[in-house]
Amino acid sequence: MSKVSVASRPSTRQERGIALFRECGEEIEHVEGGRWRVPSCSCGGAYLVDLRAESCDCLDQPSEDEVCKHITAATIAHAKSEECSGCRKKVLRRHLCIVPKDHPTLGGLVDELCKPCAVSQGVA
């Protein structure tokens, strides 16, 4: 009896993008507007993705109906993110701090803050 290997290497760009988000999702950073900085797990650099233009500055230039893995990863990050009421950057929902309604200066004005904003406002 031989074991059948089912280990699947990500084959399509979409699968590679999902894998990239799984591995490096925490490092994907919102820049502004539709722009995201997506790390390259392989070379240690990062690529700039513009989701509105569906563009990426990597060397992978897929055909029209495909996007590179960085755009896929940024799309997932975008879907899982919410805008910080402070700096207006999008951060993963689980990293947002809820501002208590009775907060002396921010209560009622601001709902959610990213970690750095929460720290600077004394919320976290």
Residue entry with tokens 């590179």: 68
Cβ 5 to Zn ion shortest distance, Å = 29
Which of residues 2 and 29 has its CB atom nearest to Zn ion in the complex?
Answer: 29
Which of residues 108 and 124 has its CB atom nearest to Zn ion in the complex?
Answer: 124
Which of residues 88 and 101 has its CB atom nearest to Zn ion in the complex?
Answer: 88
Report the alpha-carbon distance of residue 43 to residue 76 in Å, rounded: 21
CA dihedral 68, 69, 70, 73 (to 10 degrees): 130
Residues within the interface to Zn ion (CB under 5 A) = 56, 58, 68, 70, 84, 86-87, 114, 117
Cβ 43 to Zn ion shortest distance, Å = 12
Cβ 101 to Zn ion shortest distance, Å = 19
| Cβ-Cβ contacts under 8 Å for 95 (sequence gap 6 or more) | 114, 115
Q: H-helix or E-strand containing 78?
A: helix 69-79
Which of residues 3 and 17 has its CB atom nearest to Zn ion in the complex?
Answer: 17
Cβ 116 to Zn ion shortest distance, Å = 6
Report the alpha-carbon distance of residue 95 to residue 119 in Å, rounded: 12
